[in-house]
Each structure stands twice: as C-alpha cells, then as structure tokens.
C-alpha cells in the first residue's frame, strides 16, 4: 500500500505527476459531467480528530467526483470522547472496508502511526498532523503557483516564495518548504524570532525577520495564521504589535512586483496577518487555492488508489 504522509515522500517526478493529473482533472469543472467512474466501489474515510473546513470538504468533494463512497468521521460526537484509542478507531474503520483513510490529527505523527502500525491495509493520506505536515496543502499551493508563475518547463525553478508568520506552529510552512524546494523554487521564511523553529536552516531555506525587505524580491507571498490554539497564552502577540511588523496590508502589498500573487491556506484572521482589502484584492488567489484543492485531492486519491488511466477519458467536452 502506498501512503502520502509527508511532502518529503515526493520526488520531483512524483510531485509533477500529481500536478499534471490535477491539471487534467481540473478541466472537469468546465465540462457538463463533473463526475468520473474511476473509484467506483472504493471507500474513502475522512478521519478528522481536529476541526477543518477546506480540507475535509474538499477531500469529500474529490472522492465523490471520482465516484468513491465517502464516510465522514469526526472525533467530536464519536466514541473517541469515551476514550477509544486511535488503534481501535482504525480497526473499526478497517472492519468497514476503508480503501483510503484521510487523517487529520492534533498529534504530530498520528497518520504515520496509522500507516505503519499494521492496524489497517488502507492507503493513508496525511490531512494535517499537529505542527508537523500538511502535504496536500503544499501540493495545492504548488499547483496554484504553477498556474500563475510556472516556468516554460512547467516547474517552479528559480521562483521566489516568501512564507510569512507563525512558522513555528505551521505544518503548512514545513510541507511547502519541502515541496517547493523539490520543485526548484527558492523559499524565504519571514517571522518574528520567537515564531521560527530551532534548526530551521536545515530545511534549505532563507530566513528573515524583515517583511518589508523581502516583499520586493518575491514572486508570491504566502501568509500564515498565528495559531493561538497551539501557543502558551503568555507569549501570544497582540493584534497591533503583530500586524505592524508582519501583517500584509495595502501599503505593504504595494511593495510587491506587479506579477506577484498573495496566498493564504486559510482559515484567515482578517486584520491580524492580512487585511480584508488585501485578502479580497485582485492579487489574492486565496479562493482559487480552495478550488485547486479539490483537483489536487482528486489526483492524490486517484493515483494512490490506482485508478485506471487516463483519468478523464470519455468525459464530454464543454458544449460537446
Ligand atoms: N488550509 C486548511 O487546512 O484549512 P482547514 O483547516 O479548514 O482544513
């Protein structure tokens, strides 16, 4: 069984195959029939121990567009509240015949445990584990970057991406740093010293504390939410002090090159890391990131579950 647990699992060829498959699948949105039979008879379980809007719904939409059966499991309202373990939850899902388990968990490493402990024969997809990784977010971000900034080879060679904010608690930052480097981009992490992880230099990225200096040199700026829920209350910065140094407002956005785009994985805290006028501006690709997330997650499920090729053969063209 194959799994997707970390962006580091993906070679450049792997990542490019996912992105090319997603590109093919995205064109379905413009066709009269938006559903494919590729995963008919397969079961995808969304196993969510932590809240989610975008990831859970887009995996559900992705699985349904490939004709898989979908079971949504949220820890809230389940027997997890009675003390049931991850192992027993996994065994229960296995007994119900899951082919793929999409797992979000507050504990870093939980999807890896699920994949390797021998409790289940399902493919496991990491949908965000603690402060560790969120590989499908990185794939949808790379897909969005390719659409706007792709090189003639289709890669991201030499493109400069700034990831700004609470890097310390961000699984999105880690997965993006890994994947963007694999695809040839140059990554700069911009954060206050207290929100950069110890040893971050080993990620192969540049670091800076000075957002104003980095913005003119970047092709894309990816803003991160300050993850209050993972912080000790004593060092949570005030909105005012944080946004003054690290928030993206209209004045700062004007420092970007004309072609540069603004990204955010969501959920956003408007007024903290990004102002409403920037989030809603024509530089922002934040809503498009969500749309792209469905195509990318379709590609991941399709490739992991061995859908027959080609992905969209026989689907009528628009107007056809
Ligand atoms: N970007 C992201 O993972 O959003 P959700 O927490 O809403 O899934």
8 Å CB contact between 99 and 122: yes
**Ligand 1 neighbour 52 (Cβ under 6 A):** yes
Q: Which percentage of the chain shows pLDDT scores above 90?
A: 73
Q: Is residue 207 part of a domain?
A: yes
Tokens of 70: 């979908």
**Ligand 1 neighbour 293 (Cβ under 6 A):** no
Total count of domains within the chain: 2
Q: Pick the atom of ligand 1 nearest to 58's CA.
A: 8
Query: The CATH number of the domain where 208 resides is what?
Result: 3.40.50.1370
The interface predicted TM-score of the complex, written ipTM, equals 0.98
* Stretch 284-309: mean pLDDT: 91
Give the pTM.
0.93
Q: Is the peptide bond before 310 cis (omega within 30 degrees of 0)?
A: yes
Is 134 a catalytic site residue?
yes
pLDDT by residue (tens digit) across 17-64?
999 999 999 887 777 777 899 999 999 999 999 999 999 999 999 999
Q: 130-162 as b/e, with b when 16 or more CB fall inside 10 Å? A: bbbbbbbbbbbbbbbbbeebbeeeebbeebbbb
* 142 and 39 fall within a common domain: no
Tokens of 48: 């969510």
Distance 50 CA to ligand 1 centre (A): 10
* 214 and 235 fall within a common domain: yes
**Ligand 1 neighbour 131 (Cβ under 6 A):** no
Domain assignment of residue 33, given as a range = 7-133+290-304
**Ligand 1 neighbour 128 (Cβ under 6 A):** yes
* 284 and 142 fall within a common domain: yes
Q: To which H or E segment does residue 131 belong?
A: none
Nearest-CA residue for atom 4 of ligand 1: 54
* 220 and 129 fall within a common domain: no
Tokens of 264: 């955010």
Is 54 a catalytic site residue?
yes
Distances (CA, A) of 40 to 70, 226, 247: 11, 40, 45
pLDDT beyond 60 at 316? no
Annotated ligand binding at 134? The verdict is: yes
8 Å CB contact between 190 and 214: yes
Q: Is residue 188 part of a domain?
A: yes
pLDDT by residue (tens digit) across 74-126?
888 777 877 788 899 889 888 889 999 999 999 999 999 999 998 888 999 99
The helix/strand/coil state of 3 is coil
pLDDT of residue 76: 81
Nearest-CA residue for atom 5 of ligand 1: 52
pLDDT of residue 34: 78
Distances (CA, A) of 190 to 172, 206, 235: 14, 9, 18
Rounded to a whole number of angstroms, the distance between the first and last alpha carbons of the chain is 38
Chain Cα centroid distance, residue 58: 11
Annotated ligand binding at 230? The verdict is: no
**Ligand 1 neighbour 265 (Cβ under 6 A):** yes
**Ligand 1 neighbour 53 (Cβ under 6 A):** yes
Q: Is 48 exposed, middle or buried (0-12, 13-18, 19+ CB in 10 A)?
A: buried
* 125 and 159 fall within a common domain: no
Counting ligand 1 atoms within 8 A of each CB, the residue from 49, 52, 134, 285 with the most, and so the one to mutate, is: 52
Residue 317's pLDDT band (cuts 50, 70, 90) = low
* 97 and 182 fall within a common domain: no
Q: Is 124 exposed, middle or buried (0-12, 13-18, 19+ CB in 10 A)?
A: buried
pLDDT by residue (tens digit) across 182-224?
999 999 999 999 899 989 988 999 999 999 999 999 999 999 9
Annotated ligand binding at 137? The verdict is: yes
8 Å CB contact between 5 and 133: yes
pLDDT of residue 320: 44
* 201 and 265 fall within a common domain: yes
pLDDT averaged over every residue in the chain: 91
């Amino acid at each position: 069984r194959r799994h997707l647990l970390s962006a580091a699992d993906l070679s450049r060829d792997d990542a490019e195959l996912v992105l090319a498959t997603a590109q093919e699948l995205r064109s379905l949105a413009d066709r009269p029939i938006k559903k494919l039979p590729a995963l008919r008879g397969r079961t995808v379980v969304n196993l969510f121990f932590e809240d989610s809007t975008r990831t859970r719904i887009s995996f559900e939409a992705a699985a349904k567009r490939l004709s898989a059966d979908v079971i949504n499991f949220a820890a809230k309202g389940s027997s997890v509240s009675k003390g049931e373990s991850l192992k027993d939850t996994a065994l229960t899902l296995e007994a119900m015949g899951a082919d793929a388990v999409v797992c979000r968990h507050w504990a870093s490493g939980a999807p890896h445990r699920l994949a390797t402990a021998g409790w289940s024969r399902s493919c496991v997809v990491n949908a965000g584990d603690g402060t560790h990784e969120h590989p499908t977010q990185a794939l949808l971000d790379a897909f969005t970057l390719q659409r706007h900034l792709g090189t003639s080879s289709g890669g991201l060679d030499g493109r400069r991406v700034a990831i700004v904010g609470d890097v310390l608690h961000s699984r999105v930052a880690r997965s993006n740093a890994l994947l963007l480097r694999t695809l040839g981009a140059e990554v700069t992490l911009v954060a206050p010293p207290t929100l950069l992880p110890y040893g971050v230099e080993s990620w192969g990225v540049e670091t800076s504390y000075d957002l104003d200096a980095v913005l003119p040199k970047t092709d894309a700026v990816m803003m991160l939410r300050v993850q209050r829920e993972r912080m000790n209350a004593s060092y949570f910065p005030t909105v005012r002090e944080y946004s003054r140094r690290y928030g993206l407002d209209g004045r700062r956005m004007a420092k970007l090159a004309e072609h540069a785009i603004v990204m955010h994985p969501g959920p956003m805290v408007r007024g903290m890391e990004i102002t409403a006028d920037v989030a809603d501006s024509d530089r922002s690709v934040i809503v498009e990131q969500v749309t792209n997330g469905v195509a990318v997650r379709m590609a991941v499920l399709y490739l992991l579950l061995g859908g027959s090729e080609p992905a969209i053969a026989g689907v009528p063209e628009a107007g056809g």
